[in-house]
Structure 1
Amino acid sequence: MSEFTPAKWPRKLRSQEWFGGTSRDHIYHRSWMKNQGLPADLFDGRPVIGICNTWSQLTPCNAHLRDLAERVSHGIYEAGGLPLEFPVFSTGESSLRPSAMMYRNMAAMDVEEALRANPLDGVVLLAGCDKTTPALLMGACSANIPAIVVSGGPMLNGWFRGERVGSGTALWQMSEDIKAGKMSTEDFLEAEQAMSRSPGSCNTMGTASTMASMAEALGMALSGNAAIPAVDSRRRVMAHLSGRRIVQMVKDDLKPSDILTREAFENAIRVNGAIGGSTNAVIHLLAIAGRIGVDLTLDDWDRLGREIPTIVNLMPSGKYLMEEFFYAGGLPVVLKMLGEGGRLHKQALTVSGGAIWDEVKEVRNWNEDVIRPVDKALTSSGGIVVLRGNLAPGGAVLKPSAATPELLRHRGRAVVFEDIDDYKARINDEALDVDESCILVMKNCGPKGYPGMAEVGNMGLPPKVLRKGITDMVRISDARMSGTAYGTVVLHTTPEAAAGGPLAVVRNGDFIELDVANRRLHLDISDEELTARLADWQSPVKAPESGYAKLFFDHVQGADTGADFDFLRGCRGAPVPRDSH
């Protein structure tokens, strides 16, 4: 008799509503499953574990997840569970148009409904590319069955002519060098071959690695999951062990709602500051919190991150890549250092069943140039800054560790682009009235405006400015930027232009003041002038008439609350659906 029989479990498993009986309906469900060659005793009351796989050849970061799914399956079988793999919509960052962000909520809906409608007692979430991790977590939170994250892992380091090539970061740098005349097209094409030399996601601290770190910091992945390279055999071990662990989580009924407390989110926000994590984490954590019912706000990001030093020396903020981060000890070292500094809720629960501090208190830092001591931090205040003012009454964000210190207080003349097409049409024009003291402003690239809030906020600089040797200018938009990007870039300006926010009425020649220390973003016109401009404003954005684009446009919320759909917020749980047979 299997160890996992109904008599040995503390409660009836959810899957037994499908498989656990002799009625016509139970036989119907079991008999169809058996056409896959599954022995009868696999339905004897053991837990049924879903392997939620975002594998897709259209999602290069996740194209190796088939192998990891097999490793997860081995672990589930070893622990006495029945693994059943299923696909969900895969949001590939590098190819999806108009933006992968537009489809994050669709993927989350897919995950939630798959978990609710199928005979699953728990789920392993296989993620990797930027939006797949938050989408899977959002869906799992809404369904609230036991869940554990297994990340695909980052690519190996890229190298070009003796220098590290960070995926994404090098692309932005080299494309600017092309415009500045510092690099030839032939060299750029040669460097392309070094950018993605193994399976896995970005090897910088971009959004993919940031969100893997967030999953671990939140307690939703086993300790050490975030940084193991995709091709390292220890990534397979992590998948195997996670498969074992989810079976026990089902037995213990350990659900996302038990792990994702306010303390868990506060830990994650502090970790994001310490690792120099992506600004995209702000939107994704706000959305995940909204699904699980934790009241997280932009102000929490500013308050909790304000005094956190950036200690992880990785691109785009620093020098190294994810491979070195793993060899130095990875995220457990960062968590330990935060705990030693009184900046970690040590008793926060994780998928291990224990406290997060117990997982990390004995780890060592094997490279203090990669994970730096606090007194040698890249920046003493590395969290995400939240700016407010008449230009962003709902807030905007900036990443100080990726910015130029001299530009963190700046007043400049606005050079305005009405949308991304206007920017592309004019930015390379030698007649463009712009110099390095100006502020580049781009509108209509938020959740409704693009649509989908694309990663275009790190606008490339005008060639005539680049040729002066200038590498950064203040840039403001309602867009996002890649976690691999850098610069003094103000993002997520809320309300967005397409929703009638003040950004919509900024004009060429207006002066804008950025004051990061005082968290201020101000358009230098009178209140009366701003009110009059807004009264005259008409949206240039045409609402979609049908399909998912219409659903998105009609229901997406602002970046300040996570850009989720208004009807998806909240934890709905996973009741057993009514049998229709």
Structure 2
Amino acid sequence: MTDKDLRVKSIDISEGEHRAPNRAMLRAVGFEDSDFQKPMIGIASTWSEVTPCNVHIDKLAINAKKGAKEGGGAPLIFNTITVSDGISMGHEGMRYSLPSREVIADSIETVCGAERLDGLVAIGGCDKNMPGCMIAIGRMNIPAIFTYGGSIAPGKSKDGKDLDIVSVFEAVGQYNSGKIDKEELKHIECNACPGAGSCGGMYTANTMASAIEAMGMSLPGSASNPAETEDKLKDCEKAGQAVVELMRKGIVPKDIMTKKAFENAITVVMALGGSTNAFLHLLAIAHSVDVDLSLDDFDRIRKKVPHIADLKPSGRYVMNDLHHVGGVSAVMKQLLEASLLHGDCLTVTGKTLAENLAEVSPLKEGQDIIRPMDNPLKESGPLFVLRGNLAPEGAVAKMSGLKIKKITGPAKVFDSEPEATQAVLNNDIKEGDIVIIRYAGPKGGPGMSEMLSITGIIVGKGLGEKVGLITDGRFSGGTHGLVVGHVAPEAQVGGPIGIVRNGDSITIDSETQELTVHLSDEEMAARMKEWKQPPLRYERGVLNKYARLVSSASKGAVTDLQEE
């Protein structure tokens, strides 16, 4: 015991004869008299065998528990769910992906609240684990640290080139167009994912891990320490120790997750060329701590932050490569030196961001993964907010690695991703077309399906910069090409994307940040009068509940928004 009693919540069950029944239950799982004098710390594990991203997290949780015990806490491991975006991609299962973020957040909040936990270490791997954990951390506002499960090592092709899961999605398109044979496709399938860890490029998992570290909610190095390494095990043990120190110092998430901390997170995402899913997740996390964050903040920061990272999907390297030259912390050090980060932000170390980065070594000399500030890949960030008569509330696009910044063409309209995918495979989509996939939003999908399958096939067929794709759904962090997602309002609630017809002329323009259907206001109004809202796809169950509760993508697709 320290002079300060850290049992802020657990004292509800650890003191008094009338709480003997409560304590009796904990004695059965290993608690002794001394444990009831310590703060109870939850270790939220997202361990699961359903995805390589999380298959190793049971071991990481054990290390976090060890650290919390050494730090003076009474730790308890509990689990929550995960789903694999890669496995659920391209079929009905993907509708459950974004809703799983809410299930994860709700389940962690539920356990912490019911068990009266005083502190929390949350460990996540696949894409929705991280924002799910962070939303719960924000809601509970008890001392907490997030630890990333780490990135997977790259696989190898026959000629020694790096492979990852996106390589497989694109190989399907290459096979369909005759560029590779069945044997080569099978080789890529069997060698792309060699072990545990999250998808290797600057896709959603690595994007969110980087954003959370930049926000100050992970220990330095957490974002880029690879999954199956001693560094990652130590990372988790230190997190367990550090959360007890946060309790002693009285530091809670709302002290750390300020508006300036979110600006730091957006800055790092833009510099690294991260996933468009960062819009959804950072908006939702900000909502959990009552920080006023909007799409306008992303656009404001994008304009002043250069894109400096040559990382997949549009670049050459993966997170493990970045780890070997200094990692995300070293990139942040470079950004801080360029006065692009708020160095005075508090972090889970109890120190400021600037104090943490003072102890970090700079990027290795001679590396070519991260460009110097005076020679960026692009002068501003690659994640755009687009608006126009097709997306009055906004839409998002990732334009990294593209030579073509604008396209105008005829709409090819589909009310589901499978229909659109079949059209691509049947060669019904031609150069210059604008594919519209609607009724795929938070309510209409429901669940706002990621569309890596169809975009991977389009790129594999050589159409990546020759056709456009617009949806009220969303994209994987592995997606690249002339694609626009998160169109809001979505079709299901009467958004203009719902009245587009085959042949309508559509313009995607990243330079003017416009998303336009070339129709008169009178024609759009006439079509809107004819439009009828379809019923929700699911009458009961988790997807029905989600569709009834979820907000617009422009507000983070949260399920506890109090509409005015």
Contact 2:54 2:149 in 1 (8 A): yes
Question: Of residues 513, 516, 525 in structure 2, which corresponds to 1:522?
Answer: 516
Question: Of residues 14, 30, 49 in structure 2, which corresponds to 1:19?
Answer: 14
Aligned partner of 2:82 in structure 1 is: 90
Task: Give, in whole Å, the separation in 2 of the partners of 1:443 and 1:147.
Answer: 39
Letter of the 1:232 counterpart: T
Cα distance change, pair 254–506 in 1 and its aligned pair in 2 (3 A): same
Task: Give, in whole Å, the separation in 1 of the partners of 2:205 and 2:283.
Answer: 17
Question: Of residues 402, 405, 423 in structure 1, which corresponds to 2:403?
Answer: 405
SS at match of 1:123: strand
Cα distance change, pair 436–106 in 1 and its aligned pair in 2 (3 A): same
Task: Give, in whole Å, the separation in 2 of the partners of 1:369 and 1:122.
Answer: 40
Deviation, 1:543, is 4.5
Task: Give, in whole Å, the separation in 1 of the partners of 2:287 and 2:261.
Answer: 14
Question: Of residues 104, 112, 121 in structure 2, which corresponds to 1:107?
Answer: 104
Q: Map of 1:298-317 to 2, 5 A cutoff?
A: 298-317=295-314
- Provide the TM-score with structure 1 as the length reference: 0.92
SS at match of 1:172: helix
Contact 1:213 1:331 in 2 (8 A): yes
Letter of the 2:363 counterpart: N
Question: Of residues 439, 443, 457 in structure 2, which corresponds to 1:444?
Answer: 439
Q: Map of 1:468-507 to 2, 5 A cutoff?
A: 472-507=466-501
Task: Give, in whole Å, the separation in 1 of the partners of 2:516 and 2:408.
Answer: 9
State the Cα deviation string for residues 363-387 of structure 1 (Å, max 9, x = none): 2111530122123322222242100
Q: Map of 1:81-230 to 2, 5 A cutoff?
A: 81-96=73-88, 97=93, 98-230=95-227
SS at match of 2:379: coil
Letter of the 1:372 counterpart: R
Question: Of residues 551, 554, 560 in structure 2, which corresponds to 1:566?
Answer: 560
SS at match of 2:484: strand
What RMSD, in angstroms, separates the aligned Cα atoms of the two structures? Answer: 2.0
Cα distance change, pair 188–526 in 1 and its aligned pair in 2 (3 A): same
Deviation, 1:424, is 3.4
Aligned partner of 1:35 in structure 2 is: 28
Q: Map of 1:378-457 to 2, 5 A cutoff?
A: 378-402=377-401, 404-406=402-404, 408-430=405-427, 432=428, 434-456=429-451
Cα distance change, pair 448–468 in 1 and its aligned pair in 2 (3 A): closer
Unaligned runs of 5+ in 1: 570-581
Runs ≥4 residues deviating over 3 A:
162-166, 457-463, 465-472, 540-543, 566-569
Contact 2:306 2:373 in 1 (8 A): yes
Question: Of residues 323, 343, 352 in structure 2, which corresponds to 1:326?
Answer: 323
**Greater shift after overlay, 439-448 or 262-271?**
439-448
- Provide the TM-score with structure 2 as the length reference: 0.94
Aligned partner of 1:578 in structure 2 is: none
State the Cα deviation string for residues 329-374 of structure 1 (Å, max 9, x = none): 1111111111111110010111001111111134211153012212
SS at match of 1:405: coil
Task: Give, in whole Å, the separation in 1 of the partners of 2:121 and 2:496.
Answer: 43
Cα distance change, pair 375–137 in 1 and its aligned pair in 2 (3 A): same
Unaligned runs of 5+ in 2: none
State the Cα deviation string for residues 150-206 of structure 1 (Å, max 9, x = none): 111001121112343342321232122112211112111111122110211111111
Contact 1:127 1:133 in 2 (8 A): yes
| Residues 1:73 and 2:65 are matched in the alignment | yes
Task: Give, in whole Å, the separation in 1 of the partners of 2:560 and 2:42.
Answer: 27
SS at match of 1:375: coil
Number of aligned residue pairs: give it: 556
Task: Give, in whole Å, the separation in 2 of the partners of 1:466 and 1:262.
Answer: 40
SS at match of 1:487: coil
**Greater shift after overlay, 556-565 or 371-380?**
371-380
Task: Give, in whole Å, the separation in 1 of the partners of 2:412 and 2:233.
Answer: 50
Cα distance change, pair 190–563 in 1 and its aligned pair in 2 (3 A): same
Contact 1:414 1:439 in 2 (8 A): yes
Deviation, 1:56, is 1.0
SS at match of 2:321: helix
Aligned partner of 2:551 in structure 1 is: 557
Deviation, 1:497, is 1.1
Task: Give, in whole Å, the separation in 1 of the partners of 2:123 and 2:233.
Answer: 12
Aligned partner of 2:276 in structure 1 is: 279
Cα distance change, pair 216–166 in 1 and its aligned pair in 2 (3 A): farther
Contact 1:229 1:235 in 2 (8 A): yes
Contact 2:431 2:463 in 1 (8 A): no
Deviation, 1:208, is 0.7
Contact 1:168 1:202 in 2 (8 A): yes
Aligned partner of 1:54 in structure 2 is: 46
Deviation, 1:488, is 1.4
Task: Give, in whole Å, the separation in 2 of the partners of 1:11 and 1:77.
Answer: 14
Contact 1:93 1:99 in 2 (8 A): no
Task: Give, in whole Å, the separation in 1 of the partners of 2:456 and 2:44.
Answer: 41
Letter of the 1:76 counterpart: A
Letter of the 2:442 counterpart: P
**Greater shift after overlay, 412-421 or 224-233?**
412-421
Aligned partner of 1:374 in structure 2 is: 373
Aligned partner of 1:572 in structure 2 is: none
Task: Give, in whole Å, the separation in 1 of the partners of 2:396 and 2:171.
Answer: 25
Cα distance change, pair 229–144 in 1 and its aligned pair in 2 (3 A): same
SS at match of 1:288: helix
Contact 1:318 1:378 in 2 (8 A): no
Deviation, 1:490, is 0.6
Contact 1:74 1:240 in 2 (8 A): yes
Deviation, 1:547, is 2.1
**Greater shift after overlay, 369-378 or 349-358?**
369-378
**Greater shift after overlay, 503-512 or 308-317?**
308-317
SS at match of 2:169: helix
SS at match of 2:187: helix
Deviation, 1:466, is 7.2
Deviation, 1:295, is 0.5
State the Cα deviation string for residues 37-81 of structure 1 (Å, max 9, x = none): 3332121x2111110111111233111011111111111111111
Contact 1:382 1:399 in 2 (8 A): no
